[in-house]
Structure 1
Amino acid sequence: MLYFDNAATTWPKPEEVYRAHDQALRQGGNAGRGVHQASLAASRTLFRTRDSLARLFKIKERDRIIFTQNVTESLNLALQGILNPGDHVLVSSLEHNAVIRPLEYLKSRGVSYSVVPCSPEGELDLQVCEQYIKPKTKLMCFTHASNVLGTILPVRELGRFARKHELLFMVDAAQSAGVIPIDVEEMNIDLLAFTGHKGLLGPPGTGGLFVREGIVLRPLIYGGTGTHSASLSQPELWPEGLESGTRNVPGLAGLNAGVEYILERGIASLRRHELELMNLLLSGLESIPGIRILGPREPEKRVGLVSCVFLCHSADKIASLLDRKYGIITRAGLHCAPLAHKTAGTDTQGALRISLGIYHTEEDIKTLLAALEELLRGE
């Protein structure tokens, strides 16, 4: 199997991730639920993982990182935790349903939102954002990189824009965490939502939300926290008051190993490898008749994924043939991001997405391109 669906979940993981997950699962223990050695060891796992993430994202206070099961939970926790009736939100036309569906739900609670249009290639004009600000605008929530077009949005400039207009700024880093450098201070990010199982190379069931000091957040889930157990009210401690229930200690141990892998090798080095493969992939796809590439043509303007449509075939058909005939795994459809497909003009047909991983080689790219060329020739 040749796996090109890393934008959905990265695979394979570094060997260190598998070992850390297995060791923590065998070790046992429930973090924050006792003073015995197994519980304390589990608590240390959470501490180390928060510390690694804080170093990766340049977060000063590691306790401002809340663990979740994925970026969808992180986004829901943030949106439902800070927005009140009458508040207005700005989003881009590239957002995933993990942002749009919570906002649609919150509309019934008196929250409104506006979609700032991007170009068909996914580029965003900050001057256009100005036109959508309202007196009740409270939050800007933007993806860092589109899971459909691959386009990287100008997060640093968006952060300055949010500060200028005294707005909260949240970034959905589902496709960028572990792939593109993120500095929450330099980028003026107030809330950073991320998942563990994609670019951070961790297991599924892991994710988190960074919340800047001073921002009040209502819990999404209420229950046992291992603290203030005699109180019937939810404790307001950070981060425990927002992490009710048992944490996924084995998953977070694996996530820590994935983040440490990235820190040791350096995002810059991993990104150089990705850009080299992206250049080969984009130029190869452009040379095959009957393919239209979505998003920017310059590799440096996108993360390691390419979506495309076909002149004479459906994306579903090509994805199925790649899988059954060649053992090549891709992803066809709307990718849970209908607004992004509407932006690209593919909302009625979907697209085929090819997404790279850290272990791909030039030979893998050439194998994929040869298979696509053979399929489109009808052989």
Structure 2
Amino acid sequence: MIYLDNAATTRPKPPGVAAAVTAAMDAYGNSGRGAHDEALAASRGIYAVRRRLADLFGGPGADRVAFTPNSTMALNIAISGLLGPADHVISTDWEHNSVLRPLYRLREQGAAVDFVPADRRGQLDYGAFSRLLRPNTRAVVCTHGSNLTGDLTDIEWIGDFCHRHGLLFILDASQTAGMVPIHMARQHIDVVCFTGHKSLLGPQGTGGLCVGEGVDIRPFAVGGTGVQSFSETQPAEYPTRLEAGTLNSHGIAGLGAALEYLRTVGAETVRTREEALARRFYQAVRGIPGVTVYGDFSAEERAPIVTLNIGDYDSAEVSDQLAERFGIATRPGAHCAPRLHRALGTAEQGAVRFSWGWANTEAETDAAAEAVRVLATEE
């Protein structure tokens, strides 16, 4: 199988990730639940990964990294813990349902939500940020990279906009964490929500938030923490205030090994290779009659994603043909991005997404392009 579904989850994981998970299962106790060697080993291991993530995101420190099972939970925590019924929020048409549904729920509670529109080519109207601004605007919540087209938002511009107007900036870095540089302090980002199993190359079941100084998020879940057990409320200190219950210390150990791989090989090296493969594929398929490619490939930076349709074929049918006849794994359908599909005019057809990872090759990329050519010829 040629695996080109890395935007869903990277596969295979780098050397050492699975071994780190297994080693933690053999050695770790429960972090914060004792002073014996096994519990302390878990605490030390988790702290080391917090510190690496804080450094990666330009965050204020290890204590401001809180772990969750995924970026969806991180976004729910940030949105529900910072915003309320009296607030107005600006988001975009690029968003995944992990942003949209928490915002829609917030809207049902009385908040106002507006979306920066995308045009028929999927490009955002940045002038709309200023036009949508209200006296009670509290935050901008947006993705760093579209999981549908691979286009990147200009977080430098958005961060400056938020800073000028005193707004919170909550960034969904699901598709970019570990691949595209993020620096919270320089880019005026208040919260980075990330997942560990995509460009960070770690196991599923890992993710979290990196929270800026002075940002106080109300706890989403409350419960056991191993500290302040007689308090009737969740401890106020980070990261405990956002981490009720036992952490996935085994998965976090695997994430630590993935971060070490990225440090050793170089995240920029991995990113350059993945993007080169995606552009190679784009150049090969863009001129095939009947093929429509979505996204802006004139941009200098983008995620290693190419999404397309062949004629009026349903995207699920094309993806099935790619898997059954050519052994190529892709992602069809709506990609949990309904607003952008409506903007592109693909709400009914969906689209077929190809996405590259650190282990893909030029030969695999060329084989995928040839498969698209064959299917388009048969259309």
Distance 1:362 1:298 in 2: 21
**Alignment: residue pair count:** 379
Asked whether the equivalents of residues 313 and 349 of structure 2 are also in contact (C-alpha less than 8 Å), the reply is no
Other-structure match for 2:307:
307
Q: Aligned residue for 2:376? A: 376
Distance 1:241 1:29 in 2: 21
- TM-fit CA distance, 1:312: 4.0
Map 1:236-255 onto structure 2 (within 5 A). Answer: 236-255=236-255
SS in 2 for 1:131: helix
| 1:163 equivalent in structure 2 | 163
Matches within 5 A, 1:279-294: 279-294=279-294
Shift of 1:121: 3.3
- Quick check: 1:126 aligned with 2:115? no
The percent of aligned pairs where both chains have the same amino acid is 41
Pairwise CA distance, 1:378: 2.6
Moved more, 298-307 or 69-78: 298-307
Q: Which residue of 1 aligns with 2:317?
A: 317
1:141 corresponds to: 141
CA contact (8 A) 2:311 2:376 kept: no
Name whichever of 122-131 and 136-145 sits farther off: 122-131
Contact 2:55 2:61 in 1 (8 A): no
The answer to whether 1:195 aligns with 2:195 is: yes
8 Å CA contact retained: 1:9, 1:198 = yes
After superposition, the Cα gap between the structure-2 partners of 1:260 and 1:122, relative to the gap in structure 1 and judged at 3 Å, is farther
Map 1:8-157 to 2 at 5 A: 8-157=8-157
| Amino acid corresponding to residue 337 of structure 2 in structure 1 | A
Residue 351 of structure 1: how far off its partner (Å): 0.3
Tell me, in whole angstroms, the C-alpha distance in 1 between the residues paired with 2:65 and 2:287.
45
Q: Which deviations, in whole Å up to 9, do the C-alpha atoms of 1:24-60 show, x marking residues without a partner?
A: 1121311111001110001011101101111211223
Q: Distance in 2 between matches of 1:45 and 1:120?
A: 47
Q: Secondary structure at the match of 2:319?
A: helix
CA distance in structure 2 between the partners assigned to 1:38 and 1:120 by the alignment: 56
Return 5+ residue gaps in structure 1 as ranges. Answer: none
Instruction: Single out whichever of 247-256 and 301-310 deviates more from structure 2.
Output: 301-310
- Displacement of 1:120 in angstroms is 3.1
Alignment RMSD, CA only? 1.3
The worse-fitting range, judged by mean Cα deviation, of 74-83 and 212-221 is: 212-221
Q: After alignment, is 243-252 or 276-285 more displaced?
A: 276-285
Q: What SS class does the counterpart of residue 227 from structure 1 fall into?
A: coil
Q: TM-score, normalised by structure 1?
A: 0.97
Q: What are the ranges of 5 or more consecutive residues in structure 2 without an aligned counterpart? A: none
1:292-322 Cα deviation digits (max 9, x unpaired): 0001123634200111111142211110011
Please, which moves more after superposition, 242-251 or 312-321?
312-321
Do 2:60 and 2:212's aligned partners in 1 also have CA atoms closer than 8 Å?
Answer: no
- Report if aligned partners of 1:290, 1:376 keep a CA contact under 8 Å in 2: yes
* 1-structure distance, mates of 2:376, 2:4: 19
Sort the Cα spacing of 1:331 and 1:185 in 2 relative to 1 into closer, same or farther, 3 A.
Answer: same
The residue type equivalent to 1:4 in the other structure is L
Contact 1:122-1:344 at 8 Å conserved across structures: yes
Aligned-partner residue type, residue 259 of structure 1: L
* TM-score normalised to structure 2 length: 0.97
Letter in 2 for 1:339: R
- Structure 1 window deviating more from structure 2 (275-284 vs 75-84): it is 275-284
Match of 2:175 in 1: 175
